[in-house]
Amino acid sequence: MSLPPLPLVPRSARTTPIVSSANRVLGTQPGGPAPRGASLPPVPASGAWREGDEPGSRRFADVGGIELEGGGLLPQVTVAYETLGTPAADGSNAVLVLHALTGDSHVAGPAGPGHRSAGWWEAMVGPGRPIDTDRYFVVVPNVLGGCQGTTGPASTAPDGRPWGARFPRVTTRDQVAVEILLAHELGIQGWELVVGASMGGLRALEWALMGPEAGIEVRNLAAVATTAQTSADQIAWAHPQLAAIRLDPGWAGGQYYDAPDGAGPHAGLAVARQIAHTTYRSAHELDTRFGRLPQGGEDPLTDGRYAVQSYLDHHGDKLARRFDANSYVVLTESMLTHDLGRDRGGVEAALSQITARTLVVAVDSDRLFPPAQSARVAAWVPRSEGLRIVTSDYGHDGFLIEFDQLGPIVRDFLEAEDRVTSSR
């Protein structure tokens, strides 16, 4: 169905859908790999949280409109967020946690109504954990353009229909601007800590500059497995992911929300996730874990799969069932805009303006956000604690897996701040 344009800066579909052999059943079950050709429940057209769905632990704040960096006005923005812990009377214990590309506000807590999976940083945030919710008041927003309650492509536009591909381009700075509005709405005048990893780290670095400009102090900053400026290599990896989604015939120009189960752009989204997941892990881990083993009883010489192919099929299918293709496009494109030095005299000049005490962590085997990018941040932020390295075979995903290393690093960083504060 063709929808009328809205009075914004629309992001039009850039390709005409074509019939693709990739639009097939992916041969995986939600719980793990399955033999190719197994009978599977159809994939929903979108895994987005929609108005009227069970809210779960989400709270919602209407923060008004926002002028976008690329031009235009997004007239009304709702932010979905979750909180853990209790705010101090003087507001001194607020912590902002920023999620990665396909994360959301559900940082900790079980799966259940409204939440398809358990918290994505369960071992890091909670009572007695490194970010201790017995002590800190933790705020976790879903990002602008996301699909889990914050205004994004699956949300209702002013004309009463889903935004779809008409949702405007947003930048990392637009996303932080919305999070600043949320902080004002919550009455937060300063963050004891702003922490983000991967895409969340992009926003954390912007927060370190934009927060103080908006009158919100950022006392401590933790940038994990991230970068101050998206590289050509990262843009190159993103390019085929975006193409995979737009070339899926179920994409329908981004207006697929009324499609029946099994008819949305799930194949394209799954392929995009497979490309991305390859960058999230290391070559060493994939070779060691899978080698050239075939999947189950399948024979790669007669159209069967290798085990690593089945593994990627599983992760592609899993994401397609819980995420939204339009949001994947919007958020990926927002990451490509990230350049801390834009209009600030360059990256080094911008990093030099950060006043927060800063923890920078890299994963040694990360091939998506390699350690050299983190080293650049650590070298130029005046109050950097230096570069900390997590040793892992898992690549970029080490920030989600290596809690025995990352947890103590974050805990020590916060406890050191306590010692400095108590000595004043």
pLDDT (tens digit, 9 = 90+) per residue, 123-182? Answer: 999 999 999 999 999 999 999 999 999 999 999 999 999 999 999 999 999 999 999 999
* Residue 67, in any domain of the structure: yes
* Residue 293, in any domain of the structure: no
* Residue 305, in any domain of the structure: no
Its pTM stands at 0.91
Q: What whole-number distance in Å separates Cα of residue 38 and Cα of residue 35? A: 6
pLDDT (tens digit per residue) in 47-66: 999 999 999 999 999 999 99
* Residue 321, in any domain of the structure: no
- Look up 338 and say whether it is catalytic: no
* Residue 191, in any domain of the structure: yes
Residue 115 per-residue DSSP state: B
Domain span at 197: 59-229+358-422
411 labelled binding-site residue: no
pLDDT (tens digit per residue) in 387-417: 999 999 999 999 999 999 999 999 999 999 7
* Residue 51, in any domain of the structure: no
Nearest to 101 by CA among 175, 156, 167, 42: 175
Instruction: Reduce the DSSP state of residue 140 to 3 states and report it.
Output: strand
- Look up 422 and say whether it is catalytic: no
Q: Is the pLDDT of residue 284 over 90?
A: yes
Average pLDDT in the 73-98 region?
96
Average pLDDT in the 362-391 region?
98
pLDDT at 417: 72
What percent of the chain shows pLDDT beyond 90? 88
State the catalytic residue, choosing from 46, 198, 310, 334: 198
pLDDT band, very low/low/confident/very high, at 72 (cuts 50, 70, 90): confident
pLDDT at 28: 33
pLDDT at 213: 98
- Look up 21 and say whether it is catalytic: no
* Residue 312, in any domain of the structure: no
pLDDT at 6: 40
pLDDT band, very low/low/confident/very high, at 31 (cuts 50, 70, 90): very low
322 labelled binding-site residue: no
* Residue 113, in any domain of the structure: yes
* Cβ neighbour number for residue 358 with a 10 Å cutoff: 25
State the catalytic residue, choosing from 106, 115, 315, 396: 396
pLDDT band, very low/low/confident/very high, at 422 (cuts 50, 70, 90): low
Q: Is the pLDDT of residue 34 over 90?
A: no
pLDDT at 160: 95
CATH code of the domain containing 153: 3.40.50.1820
**Parallel, antiparallel, or unpaired for β 220-224 and 357-363?**
parallel
Domain count, the chain: 1
Mean pLDDT score of the chain, rounded to an integer? 91
pLDDT at 32: 46
Q: Is the pLDDT of residue 2 over 80?
A: no
| DSSP per-residue letters across 181-201 | HHHHHHT--EESEEEEETHHH
Average pLDDT in the 210-216 region?
98
State the catalytic residue, choosing from 99, 327, 366, 384: 366
Average pLDDT in the 276-298 region?
97
- The residue count for the chain: 424
